[in-house]
A and B are shown apart, each in its own frame.
Chain A
């Protein structure tokens, strides 16, 4: 599980060699939008040289390849990453059709986080969620709102359907639902509000395009001390009563609640707040 996914450009050494100091749980090295067309070869070469020399336990590493619409770059990307120690690829403009093309191009299967950024994909997310290589969705609100010809608002109501659709599909096969990056880099209050939307609806993580956003995201996706305390009490009572069905503070506790408490404690442990 990762809380934060940080995008960094694949052709900037200063960012690349510091990818482990921003406290992101996962880093997405970008070959797509943040790399100019004539620099794609530089990004591939630099990233490969870097990852061959340095290994990381944390963060988890992904590479965002170019979309299958840009077939020449997509093929070169796939060739250059095939021996790199990465957790998977981030696949832009994913839909059923492009995923088929991708699967026809790769030498061996690789885990995919698919970016949902075209309107059509929201009507086939469930089938994508069932693909064994798709390990998560990442909402791409910038391109999506552009395609819909609308502006992004502070309360994010225009994203409600997309977020919910992504979350429901992801939950159905227990894969990641990663919220879109917040692009107003200096607006901390807006970022915090945007993260609240994501956590309230059920996103499992959030992406960011600026390292300074990572701490806010990690913080919001880490179980609070109150939640940890409540979960500990549930587990304790369950163990003490040897029961999966009991009442605590006047509330009925049953198996799903106990499971959820257990998961929360595991996350708390993973994130070092237990």
Chain B
């Protein structure tokens, strides 16, 4: 392990070259303090044709936009992006520029050498003298480092960047043999941006109404049994569904086997109440989740590979009974878009959407049917993030649709009192309010692709007109 306290000195020592592929993880989210200084310096050193593989791009990662403007970027491969970089690409991207992957797909591509990383810059909230690292401690603690683990294991060079260098870490998440270089900075992040604090249970009456129907659907599908497994994102509606399921579990004395994915204080509370055996945590969404990783032996930080790599037969999500997911658009074939809006603005990406929808026994989309005058159901989604064949149920405030492929679920719900109709009927219910929208499918030039977890290209991304 070579140790540096100056970024300039480190970069001088690294075998930087044109055309290199650099990776970063996004666990520090909008509070990340390493991506901008590193890329700004690399830009100043004059390197070009840079391939970037950050696991996600947040609005604060503005140095990427600067590099794009200077035409120094050959390609970007990522799982999720929004903000200035997304907006720049949607206006000025080139055909080969952007590849959107899934969390599981990124792990697969790195492990299998498809995405061969030259240098991984790993923000590490704590590193010890042996070179072992942990996300649990230090001023920039972020908890799980799940999305960095494949970069750590497979990049040609691994640079750990920390602001908390200690004698020894008791239970490191990353062991010392992985580290090539260590850079110690004054600060690697802004804690306020790391845990956003936006993960709260929705109180919006329509969101509550949708969550109540989703919870009843899960109940009617008879899935909440001892030993079941469940994943919900940190969205307010998903968390409200989780809250209803918690109440059901308490009433009926049911204990779940595991919850997986991004973990919040609500999941931790259920773990500590004894409602679930294990948490498999690929990403901590709040401070309570980070604290819980320290004190709860049954709260496990896991890698993206263990979480969702489709070629890993032991991946956690393979055993998921239910996953609750969102949608920006969904179409009559149940294809879901969470990548762009209807005008080609990039607003996010799959993250684990496609991974979990593909693997879970039942995937449930929760979304308002109507947001003001806009219907979530389209004849055809603008961008496919998750193929309709993986999407089983759509729950809205104005009814529920089950994918006709899931005859088993439809049979199971035969006596349900829920308002279950075809997705065409749901779309008509929406149109009765909105009227027929004028078709606005003007697509600009191609700026990238959407890659499913197995490497298949399932859609193309286009520039805004």
Contacts and interface: CB of A to CB of B under 8 A. Distances in A.
A and B in contact, CB less than 8 Å: yes
Interface of A: 14, 17-18, 21-23, 186, 210-212, 215, 272
Contact of A215 (B212, B372, B417): B212
A221 B372 CA distance: 33
Given A21-B397, A21-B398, A272-B417, A212 B206 contact: no
B144 to A, nearest CB: 31
Can you list the 3 inter-chain pairs with the closest CB atoms, starting with the nearest?
A211-B205, A21-B397, A272-B417
A186 B372 CA distance: 25
A210 B417 CA distance: 24
B302 to A, nearest CB: 34
A22 B205 CA distance: 7
B342 to A, nearest CB: 21
Given A18-B397, A21-B397, A21-B398, A210 B205 contact: yes
A140 B203 CA distance: 25
B209 interface: yes
A212 B203 CA distance: 8
A211 B209 CA distance: 9
A21 B206 contact: yes
Most buried by A among B205, B397, B417: B205
A211 B433 contact: no
Contacts, number: 23
A14 B206 CA distance: 10
Interface in B199-222: 203, 205-206, 208-209, 212
Interface string B392-423: 00000110000000000000000001000000
12 contacts: A18-B205, A18-B206, A18-B397, A21-B206, A21-B397, A21-B398, A186-B203, A210-B205, A211-B205, A211-B208, A211-B209, A212-B205
Given A18-B205, A186-B203, A211-B209, 18 more contacts: A14-B372, A17-B433, A18-B206, A18-B397, A21-B206, A21-B397, A21-B398, A22-B205, A22-B209, A23-B209, A23-B212, A210-B205, A211-B205, A211-B208, A212-B203, A212-B205, A215-B212, A272-B417
Contacts of B206: 18, 21
Contacts of B372: 14
Contacts of A22: 205, 209
Contacts of B209: 21-23, 211
Nearest to B432: A54
Nearest to B208: A212
B444 to A, nearest CB: 33
A253 B60 CA distance: 74
Nearest to B398: A21
A157 B433 CA distance: 46
A202 B394 CA distance: 40
Nearest to B399: A21
A188 to B, nearest CB: 11
Q: What is the interface of chain B mostly: helix, strand, loop, or mixed?
A: helix
A19 to B, nearest CB: 11
A210 B209 CA distance: 12
Contacts of B205: 18, 22, 210-212
A23 B372 CA distance: 20
A9 to B, nearest CB: 13
Q: What is the interface of chain A mostly: helix, strand, loop, or mixed?
A: loop
Nearest to A271: B417
Contacts of B203: 186, 212
Contacts of A17: 433
Interface string B288-330: 0000000000000000000000000000000000000000000
A212 B208 CA distance: 7
Contacts of A21: 206, 209, 397-398
A126 B203 CA distance: 40
A210 B206 CA distance: 11
B243 to A, nearest CB: 11
A23 B210 CA distance: 11
Contacts of A272: 417
A95 to B, nearest CB: 33
A18 B398 CA distance: 9
B370 to A, nearest CB: 8
Contacts of B417: 272
B38 to A, nearest CB: 45
Nearest to A272: B417
A153 to B, nearest CB: 25
Contacts of A18: 205-206, 397
A17 B209 CA distance: 14
A212 to B, nearest CB: 5
A219 to B, nearest CB: 11
A30 to B, nearest CB: 16
A192 to B, nearest CB: 12
A21 B209 CA distance: 7
A17 B397 CA distance: 12
Interface in B58-89: none
Contacts of A212: 203, 205, 208
B434 to A, nearest CB: 11
Contacts of A14: 372
Contacts of B433: 17
Most buried by B among A22, A211, A212: A212
B105 to A, nearest CB: 36
A14 B212 CA distance: 20
A268 B209 CA distance: 22
Contacts of B208: 211-212
A179 B193 CA distance: 46
A215 B240 CA distance: 14
A210 B203 CA distance: 10
A74 to B, nearest CB: 29
A268 to B, nearest CB: 12
B155 to A, nearest CB: 48
A21 B208 CA distance: 10
A215 B205 CA distance: 11
Interface string B78-106: 00000000000000000000000000000
Contacts of A215: 212
Interface string B7-22: 0000000000000000
B420 to A, nearest CB: 14
B185 to A, nearest CB: 43
Interface string B28-63: 000000000000000000000000000000000000
A14 B208 CA distance: 15
B240 to A, nearest CB: 10
A131 to B, nearest CB: 35
B10 to A, nearest CB: 51
Nearest to A18: B206
